[in-house]
Structure 1
Amino acid sequence: MSDHPVPEAASPEPVGQPAQPAQSAQSAPTTPGRLSGLKRFGGFLLAILVFFLFRAFTADDGTHGIKTGECIASVGTDDFKKVDCGDSTSLGSVTFVEKNAPTDETSALALCSKHGAANAFTSATSDGGAGTIICVADPK
């Protein structure tokens, strides 16, 4: 026999419980619920963001690109388009364009009368009746 003490055998893990690996102090636990939710809905959220950015950059301000001095014609009951001033469908020439103005009939006609026009086209938005007013003088 030897004079050296014999080391005791390491005690085995309790039966039925898996061995747990030691966590290093540098690794932080992750939140798989948040990451998987982000992965699952990230594309959808990105698509919504792209849609709203597209609408913001392509939204019509109500003028359809019409400028003072150009002529317009009616399209349907509530829209208009640019036409040649000699066109038989011309309603007249645009004398003034105002954005973000009150679009009720009284306010629109009062604004247009100040700018030599008897007619007004409006495009109301959801801002409580604010929108674009296009003043149109009768054709000559």
Structure 2
Amino acid sequence: MSVDVAQTREIISGLKWYFQAKNLALKNAISIKFPLSVDQQNDIRVFYSLYLANLLSTTEMLLEKEYLFSQEFKQDLDAAFSFPNFPDGKNNYSYLRELRNAVIHRGFDISSSAHINDGMPLMIAPPINRKSER
């Protein structure tokens, strides 16, 4: 297996950008405390949407077939998304993809229901019925 320097730079550059954007979105989202103004309600929706978009862009970039390690990454991802009460890592990751798709492509308002804990709104993830393939 030879290392493609240009591809390695592309991966590092992409990962750096996605993580910077994801981290900024999350930092801004968790800084918003209850009670929320109308503007804050909109902001929190935007921040969590950006978080999901960039988080999944990171993983999907690493799953692209032209990368030599994509199959190994897919196996590691499935293992990382396996939990005691929800052991199907592939299905759990698919849920996250569909949640992102609902938020980004179909306009689902992730902030439409939440629990409040110490003034912080904690979003309630809905059931998703659509299935996606990867």
TM-score using structure 1 length: 0.25
Structure holding more strand per residue = 1
Structure holding more helix per residue = 2
Q: Which has the higher contact order (CA 8 A, sep 6+)?
A: 2
